[in-house]
Amino acid sequence: MITPKPKVYGRTDRASRQHRISRRVRAVVAATLSVGLAAAALAGCAGGASSGTSGGASSGTSGMNGKTVKMFTWVGNPDEEAQWTAYIDGGKLEDPALSVEFSGPAIGSYYTKLPTQLKGSDAPCIITLQNGQLEPYASALEPLDSYMTKAGIKASDYDPSMITQLSNGGKVYALPYDAEPMVLFYNKSMFAAAGVPAPTVHWTTNDFVTAAKKTTKGNVYGFALGQGIGPVGNFLAANDEEYVSKDGKADLTSPALQKRLQWFINLATVEKVSRPLEASGGQFPDIDQFSNSQAAMLINGTWDMAHEAKAIGANNLGVAVIPSDNGTPHGSIAGTGFAMTKSCGDKAAAFNAISAMTSAKSQQAVAKSRSQVPARADSLDAWKSSTGAEPAAVVKILTENGRVGVSATNGDKINTLFTQYEVNGFSGKSTAAQILQDVRNGVGQ
């Protein structure tokens, strides 16, 4: 069968075929580009809509979703999700129209992802910062002093140690929602089974080691060791010792640090009351051990109470002071605050959300529902009435003897190297002195 060729005047067959192909290609490309551009335009419109519809200019909607304030925080598990929901619900007691949405990674990667979020085209309006974490991010945050003055909020309403830790250059950058001492959690039934009496608020280091020995059985250890320099720092703080100066300089030659690190390592290698630390990309093997009843004791902040109560049973969870050599415990106060980003499109709404979530009404509600120690003095009674006598007594003495923890300016690098090198102590390859020397070499000290 012969297919008639279309007539093309003034061209050879090959040239006309090429011309037709060329035309088809152009048509296809034009159509594709049109569809692509249309899709891009639609995507752009959709993006604009999802960033908020209340404003006009894009700068007015950055970090907002309509009238909802976007918050970037750590949301690593359902318990943390419940915590943020509790603060938002608490804020609604102060401002019923409050609308905040939150998202974020687990705490382990939160500070790694935070800079990218803050530099992104749709940075959140609110972020959360723990004590000691403000300094690197201060340049991307809005000082809150003028907003506080305008709203009649005084810094003195909040725990002074937390306000100090959430301030930079004399300016307040975040308002705290909790001010929680580091405490020692213990498993009551394990203590009872081993015939160990409940710890008192004057527990000594010797009492602690004795209890740990008695509760160690097979693969269940008396005490869960945490990774990094923080867990060693807890024992330093309990003994009123410090290796970081007030200007943030870490002294890695500190005899106190070396002594406590060696003692910490000996818990596993000499006393055999702890599982030796191994190299791991994981963050909190100690919490996992305690929550799974693989260890009788754990050191963490009171913010972990709700989670541990759920894991091992509220009636089974005991709270004690971190032991000290002379039985006079010193609390290391830690906590978190809400900060506002400079790029926030609606700063008034963001500050309103922060003040509502840190208001007395909110903190009292959360103190009752989640046992978190509030950062406001006027909310402490609500916490004491909702938690038992034991945690209240522990927090009282730790707060009275509380000390403001100072973070080293190059704390991230020190902690990373410390985490890597301390494993050599547990394997017997290095002493505490060698580990600290290795860390010093790494940070160039």
Which among 73-81, 132-140, 173-181, 332-340 is the span making contact with other proteins, rule CB under 8 A?
A: 132-140
Quick check: 121 binds other proteins (CB under 8 A)? no
Q: How far is the CB of 232 from other proteins (least distance, A)?
A: 16
Positions 281 through 300 that interact with other proteins (CB under 8 A): 281-282
The binder of other proteins chosen from 58, 424, 431, 445 (CB under 8 A): 424
Question: HEC string of the chain?
Answer: CCCCCCCCCCCCHHHHHHHHHHHHHHHHHHHHHHHHHHHHHHHHHHHHHHCCCCCCCHHHCCCEECCEEEEECCCCCHHHHHHHHHHHHHHHHHCCCCCEEEECCCHHHHHHHHHHHHHCCCCCCEEEEECCCCHHHHHHECCCHHHHHHHCCCHHHECHHHHHHCEECCEECEEECECEEEEEEEEHHHHHHCCCCCCCCCCEHHHHHHHHHHHCECCEEEECCCCCHHHHHHHHHHCCCCCECCCCCECCCCHHHHHHHHHHHHHHHCCCCCCCCCCCCCCCHHHHHHHCCCEEEEEEEHHHHHHHHHHHCHHHEEEECCCECCCCCCCEEECEEEEEECCCCCHHHHHHHHHHHCCHHHHHHHHHHHCCCECEHHHHHHHHHHCCHHHHHHHHHHHHCCEECCCCCCHHHHHHHHHHHHHHHHCCCCCHHHHHHHHHHHHCC
Which among 148-156, 181-189, 198-206, 409-417 is the span making contact with other proteins, rule CB under 8 A?
A: 409-417
Quick check: 9 binds other proteins (CB under 8 A)? no
The binder of other proteins chosen from 47, 60, 78, 115 (CB under 8 A): 115
Tell me how far apart the alpha carbons of residues 125 and 341 are, in angstroms, rounded to a whole number.
Answer: 5
Quick check: 76 binds other proteins (CB under 8 A)? no
Quick check: 245 binds other proteins (CB under 8 A)? no
Positions 18 through 47 that interact with other proteins (CB under 8 A): 18-19, 21-22, 25, 29
Q: How far is the CB of 54 from other proteins (least distance, A)?
A: 28
Quick check: 409 binds other proteins (CB under 8 A)? no
Give the count of alpha carbons within 13 A of 426, CB side only: 20
Which lies closer to other proteins via its Cβ, residue 301 or residue 411? 411
Quick check: 110 binds other proteins (CB under 8 A)? no
Q: How far is the CB of 424 from other proteins (least distance, A)?
A: 5
Which lies closer to other proteins via its Cβ, residue 162 or residue 439? 439
Could you tell me how many residues of this chain bind other proteins (CB under 8 A)? Answer: 40
Which among 191-199, 208-216, 310-318, 425-433 is the span making contact with other proteins, rule CB under 8 A?
A: 425-433
Quick check: 193 binds other proteins (CB under 8 A)? no
Which lies closer to other proteins via its Cβ, residue 25 or residue 40? 25
Pairing of strands 167-168, 221-223: unpaired
Q: How far is the CB of 136 from other proteins (least distance, A)?
A: 6
| Residues 134 and 173 sit within 8 Å (Cβ to Cβ) | yes
Q: How far is the CB of 157 from other proteins (least distance, A)?
A: 29
Q: How far is the CB of 227 from other proteins (least distance, A)?
A: 8
Token reading at 192? 């009872």
Which among 9-17, 46-54, 176-184, 209-217 is the span making contact with other proteins, rule CB under 8 A?
A: 9-17
Q: How far is the CB of 359 from other proteins (least distance, A)?
A: 30
Which lies closer to other proteins via its Cβ, residue 25 or residue 38? 25
Token reading at 274? 């702890």
Which among 54-62, 110-118, 256-264, 388-396 is the span making contact with other proteins, rule CB under 8 A?
A: 110-118
Tell me how far apart the alpha carbons of residues 95 and 375 are, in angstroms, rounded to a whole number.
Answer: 19
Q: How far is the CB of 259 from other proteins (least distance, A)?
A: 22
Quick check: 152 binds other proteins (CB under 8 A)? no
* Residue ranges binding other proteins (CB under 8 A): 12, 14-15, 18-19, 21-22, 25, 29, 112, 115-116, 118-119, 136-137, 139-140, 219, 276, 278-282, 410, 412-413, 416, 419-421, 423-424, 426-427, 429, 438, 441-442
